């Protein structure tokens, strides 16, 4: 008897199973054409390099405009990037360097010092904002703080031009006015973007480190003197 049972096919009983006609067994596994087109439109893999670079440059330029004319706009926070802050940081560090990398006794900040001060200060302010309950993300805060160095970078360019003429009392007065105005503009622009992301009773604790951050950068610009 055991031999007869073992000789039966393993799935012999499945032929007696019938599927009710009320149960749907059909389905559509095709991908909609519209979704394919949408994915292709969003893909930049086949985009020319020139178009990609120009799009990124336009995005950076638009953020510069937001900094120079600060208003309650989420564009600087929503479409964050670090290309603009990196460009401004390198430009400011090179101009403060003054082209004398071999001179270490003139008292002027070196490139690495300026670079570390800007990025380390931005990270500290960002961490302080997060610890105080801010809703802004880490890289969004770095983006805002970095882009808001733009007025101080412009002030550095103006100061270098003024120093080409003279370095007397009038030159210092002009540089003082320019740096003070740029420092105020950078602080105002950054707080305009960051203030709304902080609790109402802790905004002063967030603004104070930002004030010190831009004050240090402004002081380096004001006390800069080219090598003779």
* pTM (2 d.p.): 0.70
145 near 210, Cβ under 8 Å? yes
pLDDT for res 13: 54
pLDDT band at residue 169 using 50, 70 and 90 as cut-offs: confident
The DSSP-derived string for 127-168 is HHHHHTT--S-HHHHHHHHHHTTHHHHHHHHHHHHHHHH--S
pLDDT for res 214: 94
pLDDT band at residue 8 using 50, 70 and 90 as cut-offs: low
Looking at residue 105, the DSSP 8-state letter turns out to be: S
Q: What gap in Å lies between CA 223 and CA 174, rounded to an integer? A: 13
Other C-beta atoms closer than 10 Å to the C-beta of 225 total 12
Mean pLDDT check: name the lowest of 16-20, 60-64, 122-126: 16-20
Beta carbons within 8 Å of 175's beta carbon, 6+ residues apart? 158, 159, 162, 163, 221, 222
198 or 108, greater pLDDT: 198
pLDDT tens-place string over residues 57-107? 887 887 888 787 776 655 566 777 888 889 999 989 888 876 444 445 544
When pLDDT is averaged across residues 99-124 and rounded to a whole number, the result is 70
């Amino acid at each position: 008897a055991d031999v007869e049972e073992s000789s039966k096919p393993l799935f012999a009983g499945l032929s007696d199973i019938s599927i009710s006609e009320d149960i749907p067994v059909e389905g559509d596994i095709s991908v909609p054409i519209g979704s394919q087109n949408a994915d292709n439109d969003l893909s930049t893999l086949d985009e020319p390099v020139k178009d990609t670079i120009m799009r990124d440059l336009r995005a950076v330029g638009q953020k510069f405009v937001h900094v120079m004319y600060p208003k309650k706009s989420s564009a600087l926070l929503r479409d964050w990037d670090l290309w603009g802050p990196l460009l401004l940081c390198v430009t400011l560090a090179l101009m403060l360097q003054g082209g004398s990398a071999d001179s270490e006794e003139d008292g002027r900040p070196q490139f690495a010092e300026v670079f570390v001060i800007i990025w380390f200060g931005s990270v500290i302010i960002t961490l302080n904002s997060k610890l105080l309950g801010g809703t802004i993300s880490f890289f969004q805060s770095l983006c805002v703080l970095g882009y808001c160095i733009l007025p101080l970078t412009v002030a550095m360019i103006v100061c270098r031009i003024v120093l080409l003429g003279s370095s007397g009392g009038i030159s210092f007065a002009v540089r003082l006015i320019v740096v003070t105005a740029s420092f105020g503009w950078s602080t105002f622009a950054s707080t305009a973007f960051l203030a709304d992301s902080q609790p109402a009773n802790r905004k002063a604790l967030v603004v104070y480190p930002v004030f010190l951050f831009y004050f240090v950068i402004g002081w380096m610009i004001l006390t800069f003197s080219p090598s003779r």
